[in-house]
Structure 1
Amino acid sequence: MFRRTFWFTTGVAAGVWATTKVNRKLKQLTPESLAATAANKALEAGHRIKDRAVDFALDVRDGMAQREEQLGDALGLHTPVDQHELPAPRQHAAIENRTTPKYVEGSTYQTNSYNSYNRNEDH
């Protein structure tokens, strides 16, 4: 008798446990539950992307400030200037083409009458 009661209660408990598990799983698979789960996952992904974008923007801002400091030093913007003295000439940031006639020593830049680039001239 005791053996039958034990197995009966064990079976009832296993049935209740299995029924509960199946009902929970069925509730998770309803369209409303799936939509809520997808929305939660999308919100979490959005927060992660936002955090990474903020970190990236801060890194870019730090790099930009560092580069501005380097450029300011290269151009002499941060050096103190004496009031009675002219500032030192700035360094050229771009490389100029010094082989053009404008930069040839002792010459003036003149156009050649044979190769006039003025389109309004009569030819």
Structure 2
Amino acid sequence: MFRRTFWFTTGVAAGVWATTKVNRKLRQLTPESLAASAANKALETGHRIKDRAVGFALDVRENMARREEELGDALGINADPELPAPRRFAVIENQRSNPKYIENTTYSYDRNEDH
């Protein structure tokens, strides 16, 4: 009697275990579950690519700044940091010395005037 009870219980436990495994696998293969796992993998891949791209961009910027400084030293650009005076007033002075320039002229901005 004890043997029969043991084997019956073992069979029931194996059946419950197998049923649970099969149901779990079937749930993983539903379209919703497959779509969710694909979306999660796509997000993970996107994050990995973004992290690598950011690291690459930082490396490029660092090397670019270092190379610009090397070139500036080689060309003597970094030797004198003082910039020349701005030349913005030259245009105004040239315009006033032009004989066609009339100081008190008023202009009409009517877009339909020529039509």
Q: TM-score range by the shorter chain?
A: 0.5 to 0.7
Residue 52 (structure 2) aligns with = 52
How far apart, CA to CA, are the structure 2 residues paired with 1:39 and 1:69?
A: 45
Deviation at residue 79 of structure 1 after TM alignment: 2.9
Percent of paired sites with the same residue? 84
Residue 79 (structure 2) aligns with = 79
In the superposition, the TM-score normalised over structure 1's length comes to 0.63
How far apart, CA to CA, are the structure 2 residues paired with 1:28 and 1:80?
A: 68
Name segments (4+ residues, structure 1) moved above 6 Å. none
Deviation at residue 80 of structure 1 after TM alignment: 5.8
The structure richer in helix per residue is 2
- Ranges in structure 2 where 5+ consecutive residues have no aligned partner: 82-115
How far apart, CA to CA, are the structure 2 residues paired with 1:80 and 1:62?
A: 23
- Residue 68 of structure 1 pairs with residue 68 of structure 2: yes
Which secondary structure does the structure 1 equivalent of 2:78 belong to? Answer: coil
* Number of residue equivalences: 81
Code of the residue aligned with 1:21 in structure 2: it is K
How far apart, CA to CA, are the structure 2 residues paired with 1:35 and 1:78?
A: 57
- Ranges in structure 1 where 5+ consecutive residues have no aligned partner: 82-123
How far apart, CA to CA, are the structure 2 residues paired with 1:78 and 1:19?
A: 76
- Residue deviations 1:71-102 (CA, integer Å, cap 9, x gap): 11011123369xxxxxxxxxxxxxxxxxxxxx
In the superposition, the TM-score normalised over structure 2's length comes to 0.67
